[in-house]
Amino acid sequence: MGIFGGTFDPIHHGHLVIAEQVADVLGLECVIFVPGGVPPHKDFASVKAPVEDRYAMVEAAVKGNGRFVVDRVEVDAGRAMYSVETVPLVKERYEGEEWFFVSGADEVSNLLSWRDPDGFLAEARMVAATRPGYDISNLDHLAAELKNFDRIVPVECTRVDISATTIRQMVADGKSVRYLVPEAVHEIIHDRGLYGAGDGVAVDARG
Ligand code: ATP
């Protein structure tokens, strides 16, 4: 079983590619996407879309993939949650023997800033999916500090150089983000006017 936590502000094809490829490589039955409230390590002002809109975009993005589901545990908590709290709650809600927490290489490098990283790694093995711009060939700083360092699992994925920050900026600048996100997510961004979409600038052929 895989748990994929993130802000998903918005979800994009970089997220979907690692979820699919990690599921394949590790033989996961299911990847549970857990869109978060405001994560403790992110600046509140950096999260731009309301949590229900981010949840709706994840739901739309995973539709049609039989291995992917979305969970509301962090949405309904109504507060910031640490992964060490979230993972046991998710594990109670689904049947599963072996648990992996899916994340990109940038998150893994930052693991020492997380709450109770060894406790977190005891709950789930952490997948370090390749991400352009982040090198995890040297994780000595983690190996020196963490008892459960051997529970970090690097997984080589197709590199997709997309970040949510770039997408938000492009939308705000009136540029098209079509094909960077699933079509259904693109529609939600424009229908709900997220990230400044439609603020007086023609963003795509629909105007
Ligand atoms: P932001 O730009 O706002 O920081 P993000 O694109 O990193 O957002 P998050 O929702 O914060 O998206 O990411 C959730 C998880 O997905 C993290 O573990 C992150 O490392 C991983 N991830 C995001 N984009 C990619 C990508 N293009 N390739 C590999 N992993 C990614």
Strand partners, 33: 4, 70
pLDDT at 46: 62
pLDDT at 207 over 80: no
30, 2 contact by CB (below 8 A): yes
Share of the chain above pLDDT 70, in %: 91
35, 54 contact by CB (below 8 A): yes
User: Which atom of ligand 1 sits closest to the CA of residue 105?
Assistant: 20
Share of the chain above pLDDT 90, in %: 84
Distance 39 CA to ligand 1 centre (A): 13
pLDDT at 36 over 80: yes
How much is the ipTM here?
0.97
User: Which atom of ligand 1 sits closest to the CA of residue 103?
Assistant: 18
For residue 145 the two structure tokens come to 């500090």
pLDDT at 202 over 90: no
Would you place residue 206 in the very low, low, confident or very high pLDDT band (cuts 50, 70, 90)? very low
pLDDT at 138: 85
- Own/partner contacts of 62-66, CB < 8 Å, gap of 24 or more, are 62/16, 62/33, 63/184, 65/20
Residues 139-160, mean pLDDT to the nearest whole number: 95
- In CATH, what class is 2-161? alpha beta
Distance 95 CA to ligand 1 centre (A): 26
Residue nearest (by alpha carbon) to ligand 1 atom 31: 104
| Ligand 1, pocket residues at CB < 6 Å | 6-9, 14-15, 18, 103-104, 106-107, 129, 131, 160, 162-165
pLDDT digits (tens, 9 = 90+) for 44-102: 566 689 999 999 999 999 999 999 999 999 999 988 899 999 999 999 999 999 999 99
136, 128 contact by CB (below 8 A): yes
User: Which atom of ligand 1 sits closest to the CA of residue 161?
Assistant: 27
Residues 138-147, mean pLDDT to the nearest whole number: 92
Residue nearest (by alpha carbon) to ligand 1 atom 22: 104
Distance 23 CA to ligand 1 centre (A): 17
82, 115 contact by CB (below 8 A): yes
Phi first, then psi: what are they for 83, rounded to 5°?
A: -60, -30
pLDDT digits (tens, 9 = 90+) for 156-192: 999 999 999 999 999 999 999 999 999 999 999 999 9
Mean pLDDT of the chain: 92
pLDDT at 146: 97
Residues 141-162, mean pLDDT to the nearest whole number: 96
